Amino acid sequence: MPSVWRPSFLLVVPLVLAAAIAAATSSARSPADLSGDWHLVVDDSILAERRGVTRRYHAFAKDPRNPVLVADRPWEGKVAYVYGSALPGEDGRGYRLWYHAWQGGEYRNLYATSPDGLRWEKPALGLVEFQGSKDNNLLFRRTKEDHLPVVLWTPDDPDPSRRYKLINYDYGRTAPANLVSGFWGATSADGIHWRDLPRNPILADPGDVGNFVWEARAGRYVGYPKVFAPVRGYRRRAVGYTATTQFEQWPPAELILVPDRIDDRWVTQDKQHTDFYGLCAFPYESGHLGLLWVFRITDGNNDGPIFVELVSSRDGVKWHRQEGDRPPLLDVGAPGAWDGGMITTVNQPLVEGDRIKLFYGGARHTHGGTKNAESAIGVATLRKDGFASLDAPAATPGAVTTRRWRGGGGPLRVNGDFRGGALRAEVLDAEARVVPGYGMEECVAVTADGIDLPVRWREHTALPTNARGLQLRFQVAGGSLYSFHVGAGVAWEDPAAVPDLAIDFEGKAEPARWTLVGGAVVQAGAGGNRALVLKKAGDAADLPGTAELGRTFTLAARVRTGSVSWTRIFSAHRGTGEPATGELIFDFNPRSGVVRLVVNGQRVQSRPRFLGDKQSHHYAATYDDGEVVLYVDGARVGEGRIRQGSVHLFSDRSLIEHLGAGRPLTGITLAGDLRVGEDPGTRFITFRDEAANAPTEQLVGTADDLLVARRALSQAEVERLAPAR
* 375 within a domain of the structure (yes/no): yes
Q: What is the pLDDT of residue 7?
A: 44
Domain count, the chain: 3
* Average confidence (pLDDT) over 367-394: 94
Domain boundary, last residue among 347, 364, 385 = 385
Say yes or no: 70 and 52 in one domain: no
What is the overall mean pLDDT for the chain? 93
* Average confidence (pLDDT) over 319-341: 97
Residue 324 pLDDT grade (very low, low, confident, very high; cuts 50, 70, 90): very high
Q: Tens of pLDDT along 559-579?
A: 999 988 999 999 999 999 999
φ, ψ of residue 346 in degrees (nearest 5) = -65, 170
Q: Tens of pLDDT along 453-512?
A: 999 999 999 999 988 999 999 999 999 999 999 999 999 998 877 889 999 998 765 667
Q: What is the pTM of this model?
A: 0.94
Say yes or no: 204 and 225 in one domain: yes
CA nearest to 443, candidates 420, 405, 414: 414
Q: What is the pLDDT of residue 355?
A: 98
Contact, 426 vs 402, CB < 8 A?
A: no
* Average confidence (pLDDT) over 62-84: 96
Q: What is the pLDDT of residue 650?
A: 87
* Average confidence (pLDDT) over 99-121: 95
What single string gives the DSSP state of each residue in 251-289? PPPEEEE---GGGGTT--STT-EEEEEEEEEEEEBTEEE
Give the CATH number of the domain where residue 467 resides.
2.60.120
Distance CA 232, CA 522 (A): 26
Domain boundary, last residue among 359, 385, 411 = 385
Q: What is the pLDDT of residue 201?
A: 95
Distance CA 111, CA 192 (A): 8
Say yes or no: 104 and 80 in one domain: yes
* Average confidence (pLDDT) over 46-60: 98
For residue 13, give the amino acid letter: V
Secondary structure of residue 385 in the 3-state scheme: coil
* 25 within a domain of the structure (yes/no): no
Give the CATH number of the domain where residue 507 resides.
2.60.120.200
Phi and psi based region of residue 574 (left: phi greater than 0; alpha: psi -120 to 50; beta: remaining):
alpha
- The sheet with strand 164-170 has its strands ordered as 147-153, 164-170, 182-188, 195-196
Domain boundary, last residue among 385, 406, 431 = 385
Does the structure show a pLDDT above 70 at 6?
Answer: no
For residue 693, give the amino acid letter: N
Say yes or no: 450 and 555 in one domain: no
Does the structure show a pLDDT above 90 at 14?
Answer: no
Residue 585 pLDDT grade (very low, low, confident, very high; cuts 50, 70, 90): very high
Say yes or no: 473 and 529 in one domain: no
Does the structure show a pLDDT above 60 at 423?
Answer: yes
Lowest-pLDDT range, 56-65, 137-146, 191-200? 137-146
Say yes or no: 333 and 220 in one domain: yes
Does the structure show a pLDDT above 70 at 688?
Answer: yes
* 13 within a domain of the structure (yes/no): no
Q: Tens of pLDDT along 200-238?
A: 999 987 789 999 999 999 999 999 999 999 999 999 999
Residue 5 pLDDT grade (very low, low, confident, very high; cuts 50, 70, 90): very low
Express as a percent the part of the chain with pLDDT over 70: 95
Q: What is the pLDDT of residue 8?
A: 40
* Average confidence (pLDDT) over 616-636: 97
Residue 288 pLDDT grade (very low, low, confident, very high; cuts 50, 70, 90): very high
* 20 within a domain of the structure (yes/no): no
Q: What is the pLDDT of residue 371?
A: 74
Say yes or no: 601 and 482 in one domain: no
User: Is-cis flag, bond preceding 67, omega within 30?
Assistant: yes
Contact, 300 vs 272, CB < 8 A?
A: yes
Does the structure show a pLDDT above 80 at 427?
Answer: yes
Say yes or no: 158 and 248 in one domain: yes
* 6 within a domain of the structure (yes/no): no
Distance CA 590, CA 567 (A): 8
Say yes or no: 440 and 566 in one domain: no
Say yes or no: 511 and 554 in one domain: yes
Residue 166 pLDDT grade (very low, low, confident, very high; cuts 50, 70, 90): very high
Say yes or no: 540 and 566 in one domain: yes
Q: Tens of pLDDT along 122-149?
A: 999 999 999 999 999 999 999 999 889 9
Q: What is the pLDDT of residue 509?
A: 57
Q: What is the pLDDT of residue 105?
A: 85
Say yes or no: 660 and 595 in one domain: yes
Distance CA 60, CA 308 (A): 10
The three-state (H, E, C) secondary structure of 316-354, written as one string:
CCCEEECCCCCCCCECCCCCCCCCCCEEEECCCCEEECC
Q: What is the domain extent for residue 554?
A: 501-721
* 11 within a domain of the structure (yes/no): no
